[in-house]
Structure 1
Amino acid sequence: MSESKPPITHQPSPITDNWYASWFDTPYYHILYKDRDYEEAQVFMDNLTEYLNLPEEANILDLACGKGRHSIYLNQLGYEVTGADLSENSINEASKSANDKLHFEVHDMRISFEEKFDAIFNLFTSFGYFEDDADNLTTLKAIRDSLTEYGFAVIDFMNVDHVIENLIPEETKTVDGIDFHIKRYEKDNHIYKEISFSDKGKEFHFTEKVQALRLADFEKMMEEAGIYLLDVFGDYKLRKFYKAQSERLIMIFK
Structure 2
Amino acid sequence: MPKSDVHPHPHETDPNWFASWFNTPYYHILYKDRDYEEAQLFMDNITAYLNLPEDAKILDLACGKGRHSVYLNTLGYDVTGADLSKNSIAEASKLSNDKLHFEVHDMREPFEQKFDAIFNLFTSFGYFESDDDNAEALRAMRDSLSEYGFAVIDFMNVTKVLQNLVPEETKTVEGIDFQIRRYFEDDHIFKDISFTDGGKDYSFTEKVKALTLEDFTQMMDEAGIFLLDVFGDYKLHKFHPKESDRLILIFK
Scaled by the length of structure 1, the TM-score of the pair is 0.93
2:6 corresponds in structure 1 to none
1:91 corresponds in structure 2 to 89
- What CA deviation, in whole Å up to 9, does each residue of 1:86-120 have, x standing for no partner? 00111111111110000000000000000000000
Alignment map for 1:171-186 (pairs within 5 Å): 171-186=169-184
1:105 corresponds in structure 2 to 103
2:118 corresponds in structure 1 to 120
Residue type at the aligned position of 1:94:
A
Residue type at the aligned position of 2:26:
Y
- What CA deviation, in whole Å up to 9, does each residue of 1:96-150 have, x standing for no partner? 1110000000000000000000000111000000111101111111111100000
Residue type at the aligned position of 2:156:
M
1:57 corresponds in structure 2 to 55
Residue type at the aligned position of 1:250:
I
TM-aligned CA distance change 1:188 to 1:17, over 3 Å:
closer
Q: Does structure 1 residue 241 correspond to structure 2 residue 239?
A: yes
Q: Does structure 1 residue 154 correspond to structure 2 residue 166?
A: no
- SS for the counterpart of 2:94 is helix
- SS for the counterpart of 1:70 is helix
Q: Does structure 1 residue 253 correspond to structure 2 residue 251?
A: yes
1:130 corresponds in structure 2 to 128
Residue 219 of structure 1, aligned match among 209, 217, 220: 217
Deviation at 1:19, TM superposition (A): 1.1
Give the length in aligned residue pairs: 239
1:170 corresponds in structure 2 to 168
1:67 corresponds in structure 2 to 65
Scaled by the length of structure 2, the TM-score of the pair is 0.94
- What CA deviation, in whole Å up to 9, does each residue of 1:184-215 have, x standing for no partner? 11011100100000000100000000000000
Conservation of the 8 A alpha-carbon contact between 2:15 and 2:129: no
Q: Which runs of 5+ in 2 are unaligned?
A: 1-13
Separation of aligned partners in 1, 2:34 and 2:65: 12
- SS for the counterpart of 1:168 is coil
Separation of aligned partners in 2, 1:230 and 1:108: 26
Deviation at 1:17, TM superposition (A): 5.6
2:30 corresponds in structure 1 to 32
C-alpha RMSD over aligned residues? 0.8
Q: Does structure 1 residue 19 correspond to structure 2 residue 26?
A: no
Separation of aligned partners in 2, 1:162 and 1:94: 33
Separation of aligned partners in 2, 1:28 and 1:138: 29
Conservation of the 8 A alpha-carbon contact between 2:183 and 2:189: yes
Task: Provide runs of 4+ in structure 1 moved above 6 Å.
Answer: none
1:6 corresponds in structure 2 to none
Deviation at 1:38, TM superposition (A): 1.1
Residue type at the aligned position of 1:116:
K
Q: Which runs of 5+ in 1 are unaligned?
A: 1-15
- SS for the counterpart of 1:97 is coil
Separation of aligned partners in 1, 2:201 and 2:238: 44
* Percent of aligned pairs with the same amino acid: 75
Residue type at the aligned position of 1:92:
A
- SS for the counterpart of 1:222 is helix
Separation of aligned partners in 2, 1:247 and 1:185: 19
Separation of aligned partners in 2, 1:181 and 1:132: 28
Conservation of the 8 A alpha-carbon contact between 2:120 and 2:154: yes
Residue type at the aligned position of 2:186:
D
2:79 corresponds in structure 1 to 81
Residue type at the aligned position of 2:220:
M
2:41 corresponds in structure 1 to 43
Separation of aligned partners in 2, 1:184 and 1:244: 20
Separation of aligned partners in 1, 2:251 and 2:146: 13
